[in-house]
Amino acid sequence: MKGVVTKSTGSWITVRSEDGMRTECRLKGQFRIRGLRSTNPVAIGDRVEFEKQPDEDTGVITHILERDNYIIRKSINLSRTTQILAANLDHAFLIVTLARPKTSTGFIDRFLVTATGYYIPASIIFNKIDLYDEALASREVKLKTIYEHAGYPCYSVSALRGDHVDRVSNLLKGKTSLFSGHSGAGKSALITAIQPNLKLKTGLISEIHLKGKHTTTFAEMFELTDGGFIIDTPGIREFGLIDFEKNEVHRCFPEMERLLPQCRYKNCTHTHEPGCAVKDALETGDVSRMRYNSYLSILNDKP
Are both 94 and 214 inside the same structural domain? yes
What is the distance between the alpha carbons of residues 11 and 67, in angstroms, rounded to a whole number? 22
- pLDDT 10s digits, 189-232: 999 999 998 866 655 444 444 444 444 457 899 999 989 999 99
User: Domain containing 266 — which CATH number?
Assistant: 1.10.40.50
pLDDT of residue 238: 66
Q: Do the beta carbons of residue 24 and residue 59 sit within 8 Å? A: yes
- pLDDT 10s digits, 14-62: 999 988 899 999 988 766 544 446 667 889 999 999 999 887 789 999 9
From 174, 208, 232, the end of a domain falls on 232
Q: Is the pLDDT of residue 91 over 70?
A: yes
Are both 146 and 188 inside the same structural domain? yes
Are both 55 and 133 inside the same structural domain? no
pLDDT of residue 212: 45
pTM, two decimal places: 0.89
CA–CA distances in Å: residue 252 to residues 73, 108, 150, 279: 15, 13, 10, 17
Are both 80 and 210 inside the same structural domain? yes
Are both 33 and 60 inside the same structural domain? yes
Are both 97 and 59 inside the same structural domain? no
What is the distance between the alpha carbons of residues 232 and 209, in angstroms, rounded to a whole number? 24
Among 133-142, 192-201, 281-290, the range scoring the smallest mean pLDDT is 192-201
